[in-house]
Amino acid sequence: MKLFYGEIEGNKVTINDEEQQHIVRVLRMKNGEEIHITDGKGNLASGNLMIEGKKATILVDEIKTGLPDFHPKLHIAIAPTKNIDRIEFFVEKAVEMGISEITILQTEKTERKNLNIDKLRKQAIAASKQSLRFHFPILNDSIKLLDFLKTIYPENTFVAHCHENLNRISLSEIPKQDQMTFLIGPEGDFSEKEIKLLADHDVKAVSLGNQRLRTETAGIFVAAWNYNGLI
The structural domains of the chain, with segments of one domain joined by +, span: 3-64, 73-228
- pLDDT reported for residue 212: 85
- Residue 32 corresponds to which amino acid? G
Question: What string of H, E and C letters represents the secondary structure of 8-68?
Answer: EECCEEEECHHHHHHHHHHCCCCCCCEEEEECCECCEEEEEEEEECCEEEEEEEEEECCCC
Closest among 194, 180, 187, 162 to 223, alpha carbons compared: 180
- pLDDT reported for residue 113: 82
- pLDDT reported for residue 87: 95
Q: What's the CATH architecture for 3-64?
A: Beta Barrel (2.40)
State pLDDT tens for residues 166-185.
678 888 899 888 999 999 99
Please indicate whether residue 76 or residue 231 has the higher confidence score (pLDDT): 76
Q: Percent of the chain at pLDDT above 90? A: 82
Indicate the average pLDDT of the chain.
93
40 neighbors 129 (Cβ within 8 angstroms): no
Of 68-82, 141-155, 160-174, 176-190, give the lowest mean pLDDT range: 160-174
183 neighbors 203 (Cβ within 8 angstroms): yes
Whether the per-residue pLDDT at 163 is higher than 80: the answer is no
Fold for 73-228, please state it.
Alpha/beta knot (3.40.1280)
Closest among 111, 109, 116, 128 to 88, alpha carbons compared: 116
**Burial environment of residue 207 by CB neighbours within 10 A (0 to 12, 13 to 18, 19 or more):** middle
State pLDDT tens for residues 111-147.
888 899 999 999 999 999 999 999 999 999 999 999 9
pLDDT grade, residue 165 (50/70/90)? low
Whether the per-residue pLDDT at 225 is higher than 80: the answer is yes
- pLDDT reported for residue 166: 67
Whether the per-residue pLDDT at 231 is higher than 70: the answer is no
If one counts every other C-beta atom within 10 angstroms of the C-beta of residue 16, the result is 17
Alpha carbon 179 to chain centroid distance? 14
Same fold, 3-64 and 73-228: no
- pLDDT reported for residue 148: 97
